[in-house]
Structure 1
Amino acid sequence: MTPVQTRVAELMGTVASVRVVGDPSEQQRVSEAIDGCLLELADLEHRFSTYRADSEVSRFRRGEFGLEDASPLLAEVASACEDWTHRTGGRFSAWFGGDFDPTGFVKGWATERAARRHLAPLCELPGVVAAGISVGGDVQLFRAPGQQWCWRIGIADPRRPGAVLATLELGEGAVATSGLAERGDHLVDPRNGVTATSVLSATVVADGLTRADVWATAACIAGDELGWLAEAGTIAGLLVAADGGVRRWAGTAELVPPSEEFGPSATAA
């Protein structure tokens, strides 16, 4: 059995878990990389927390300084949030309600950023097969060149607490889930202020967690409409509607089960 090192920490209001697969020849570098990843996440959490009065985001929200005087990281996040608002057709926004609140962006962005800076390089070390991080169930994964390792990721069934709806095998990339199962009716459509309740959960697979996380949220806001797939650049995904219906897609194509009319073995001409 391939050895797996695991480190767990409480971060961003949830649990972060780092895993390094293999038998590294440079164990000290692995330990330092894990420390660096978790420390960077803790720093970003502090910087962007809307609950801490001394965070940079809280000070910016109070008007103590403008974006022209903000740190490069805050300016980067603000610019990225504006960009994603346009990309998602307004289904995502960090300015809804008048205040700047990048919470819906920062967790995925921060996790991907810290993981690429500290964990991805580990896959170049002798003995390392793969490395990855999960923060609140959203994951950013890497695999060493030439390895056949696949991560197994369970997708929770929002209709049955504790149950798994599907299992995904992924060599590298990112998976994010957004929805109502964990936090209830907390998603609001920025375009009209209406609470989004037509989707119980949306899981998105992408190259990076920033993209996966934003589009998982946007998919919940979009509801039963998948027209956004053409612009999303996602790899695959799964959506559970409030009525229990499940929709899946790969790339820009929805995966539709064979209808009874044509039989289970029917194929496209």
Structure 2
Amino acid sequence: MTDPSRRRQQRGGDQAARTYLITGAASGIGRATARRLGARGHRVIGADLKDTDISADLGTAEGRALLAEAAADLGGGRLDAVIACAGVAAYDPVTVRVNAFGAIATLTGLRPLLAAGRDPRAAAVASVAVLHPADPAIVEAVLADDEAAAVAAARAAVERGEGQRVYASAKHALARWVRRAAVSDAWAGAGIPLNAIGPGIIRTPMSRPMLEDPEVRAIADAAVPMPLHGYGEPEQVAPLLDFLTSPENTHVTGQVVFIDGGADAVLRGDASW
């Protein structure tokens, strides 16, 4: 995160400093992206459970409201870009609350601030898991904006021994929401590109327990085959989010851009793009 007093022109003066809000900014991809943008002269307002400018639990309605209020205050009523990175990976309904409803609330709640910004852009972090089997009940409840039903469906999935589908379902729903919203009057009609990215296995605090367990790691490798360079680092994902939320991105919208070492191509083959 950068102090407002450090706002300056980027090297070469090709692009004015912008104000970004990034959720999940305390660790992983969010932290790496915040550091990259800060180093390039932008102002970054970070949000997470702690250790950032805004402390908010996006798994709750109160936390989402707090985020919107604090963002408006710290941003002076405007933002130039929003990146929804916050996420959890647990066999628990909280995964749906944060990864789907929290991310969507971040984007919709801050859209008015983007509309007041300069060359506004937005992006969300989905996952290559959008390609994995999802629970239709969870996905449809999210898309219907029925959080109670989505939580109940997630709880039922866990009780059936299908807890692994909760994460995939939350990310799948988020990706579908982005695709729908991006071409609407509220986003494309307002000149705001909206995209998602689909990372493969990235070495972050969230993935560390999985990668440290040989048995679980073998399952993950089979589910997310990454023939190009293997696992990624958060710093390798940050440039993609940088571009998607920069003024340079004028026509990419409604996309789920995979950054997965080839996992999408392996899993879906050459018949899908």
TM-score computed with the length of structure 2 as normaliser? 0.31
| Larger RCO: 1 or 2 (CA < 8 Å, sep 6+) | 2
Structure with the greater alpha carbon radius of gyration = 1
